[in-house]
A and B are shown apart, each in its own frame.
Chain A
């Protein structure tokens, strides 16, 4: 199939699904109170955007996710670097991180809310906790999987430890970090939204919870649509960043 046809087809598919949903809601095949309808949800989104009522929620989520991402990134990178360079430390933390990586970390959301309250701190903590493990493995893996032939190459050219760091280790780690960047940012966002969903007074997750508790299907659909749109825009931007940063990988 030609590359130009594919996006058109995708858009047509999406539009077809929405149209079917709309038709089903109008004809009564779907209960509008439970399923809402694309036009209703769309109208609400426009209204929310015009009145700016959604802005504080949006900012709250972004803020929690942003802090979780930044702090989780710093901590994960520091731990990963230490584990990759100090052998005994690596042996100590790797099993812990493996376990943390294996369990669904969102189950800790209620714990954080219990400990840190319903404010932003518990959301940042959950987001942080999701991110830190991912970044740890990206940095740790990048250091451990450094190609020994490249180390030999730089060393045999007379390279110092500093040259090795700059020419081999850091680029290798960055390659790993960039290739997991989208998942990392996605997790930061998930942490914030899930935290808000469980207990909070602001944020997109709070809106989801509110809609569910008040049986407001239209608000629910409108919020889901806005979360989806945000994530899609974010991922497109990150993909661009990743492509630019790893241009050397493309044949």
Chain B
């Protein structure tokens, strides 16, 4: 196994996050830490995370299970407060939920007593969009994630993958500028997964959206992102390195996987991740 020092030369060295000098990054985390105070005493889930994401960038976050990826997304979404450091969006500190941020959770969280249509229209309704407009928008997104015809179903009447697609439509219907996604495609079959990955890339094309994507699939991370941030094992995790993905856009998600740069980075990430998993086990 490789030691962390022996990084292959072809892959860019872990470099500072992809923020252009002088510009205020869309998302910035400075020395962010999160310690949970549970019944079993304090647990430092996240130690010290620095990350800056430029507007329009697509950054994937990978790391061993339990290292604090979901926690990090919740902090950026304003659902939880960091216990150290600060998070800014366009230079403004995060003090709560921002209407420009949309988050898709690891476990789908559709309201069980609302139909697919009502669930997808929920965000626009909360934001005061008129009824005909929000229904039009919801229908369009339901169609787009391939759930056309299932508008009147309740979540309990959908498969796991369908629920996840409904949850995706629910978030996208708010048309957020910043999209935080926690393993959004985890329960999908390979075909649907590829379709939604391509859809997501199309949605974010031209830098219209800034995306943080948590995934356990390193190939997915490399294929989709501009940069992949690898987190160390918890407790007190940090970002071990941010790897730029030097693949041109627009990308063909099927073809990109056979590019040498792709295979190389994917393998490197895997080796580093494996080290972190091992380190996590030793603790």
User: Which A residues have a C-beta under 8 Å from some C-beta of B?
Assistant: 147, 149-150, 152-160, 163, 167-168, 171, 175, 247-251
Segment of B33-41, B97-105, B239-247 in the binding face: B97-105
Query: Could you name 16 residue pairs across A and B whose Cβ atoms are closer than 8 Å?
Result: A149-B105, A150-B111, A152-B74, A152-B105, A153-B109, A155-B97, A156-B77, A157-B122, A157-B126, A160-B126, A163-B126, A167-B122, A247-B154, A248-B154, A248-B156, A250-B156
Residues of chain A lying within 8 A (CB to CB) of residue B123: 157-158
Complex CA–CA separation, A248 to B157 (angstroms): 8
CA distance A168 to B126 in the complex (A): 13
- Give the residue among A147, A150, A156, A158 with the most B Cβ atoms within 10 A: A156
B95 within 8 A of A: no
Contacts A168-B111, A175-B113 given; does A249 touch B126 at CB 8 Å: no
Q: Mark B151-166, 1 if CB is under 8 A from A, else 0.
A: 0001111000000000
Give the shortest distance, in Å, between A194 (CB) and chain B (any CB).
36
Which residues of chain A have C-beta atoms less than 8 A from B154's C-beta? 247-250
Most chain B CB atoms below 10 A, which of A149, A150, A158, A250: A158
Check B127 for interface membership: any CB of A closer than 8 A: yes
In the assembled complex, how far is the CB of residue B159 from the closest CB belonging to chain A, in whole angstroms? Answer: 11
Structural contact, B99 and A158, CB atoms closer than 8 A? yes
**A149–B170 CA distance with the chains assembled, in angstroms:** 15
Residues of chain B within 8 A of A175, CB atoms compared = 113
Q: Is B72 an interface residue (CB 8 A)?
A: no
Distance A180 CA – B99 CA, assembled complex (angstroms): 39
Least CB distance, A163 to chain B, in whole angstroms = 6
A175 to B107, CA, bound (A): 21
Interface residues of B (CB under 8 A from A): 74, 77-79, 97, 99, 101-103, 105, 107, 109-114, 122-123, 126-127, 154-157, 170, 174
Q: B111 and A167: CB pair below 8 A?
A: yes
Cα–Cα, bound, A42→B102 (Å): 67
Partner of B113, one of A155, A158, A171: A171
A171 B122 Cβ-Cβ under 8 A: no
Tell me whether A152 and B113 are in contact (CB under 8 A). no
Given A152-B105, A158-B126, A163-B126: A248 and B97 interface contact (C-beta under 8 Å): no
Report if A171-B111 is in contact (Cβ < 8 Å); known contacts: A153-B105, A156-B97.
yes
Contact in complex: B156, A251 (CB < 8 Å): yes
Min CB–CB distance B32 → chain A (angstroms): 18
Bound Cα distance A37, B42 (Å): 72
Q: Please, which residues of chain B bring their CB within 8 A of the CB of A250?
A: 154, 156-157
- Beyond the given pairs A156-B79, A249-B154, A250-B154, 12 more chain A to chain B contacts, judged by CB atoms under 8 angstroms and listed by A's residue number, are A153-B110, A154-B122, A155-B79, A156-B77, A156-B101, A156-B102, A157-B174, A159-B126, A160-B126, A171-B111, A247-B154, A249-B156
- Contacts A152-B79, A156-B77, A156-B97 given; indicate if A251 touches B109 (C-beta within 8 A): no
Whole-angstrom distance from the CB of B156 to the nearest CB of chain A?
A: 5
Cβ of B126 and Cβ of A154 under 8 Å apart?
yes
**Cβ of B100 to closest chain A Cβ, rounded Å:** 10
Measured between C-beta atoms, what is the minimum distance from B67 to chain A in Å?
A: 20
- In the complex, which residue of chain B has the Cβ closest to the Cβ of A170? B113
Residues on B with C-beta less than 8 A from A247 are 154
Chain A residue nearest to B167 (CB atoms) is A153
CA distance A176 to B157 in the complex (A): 20
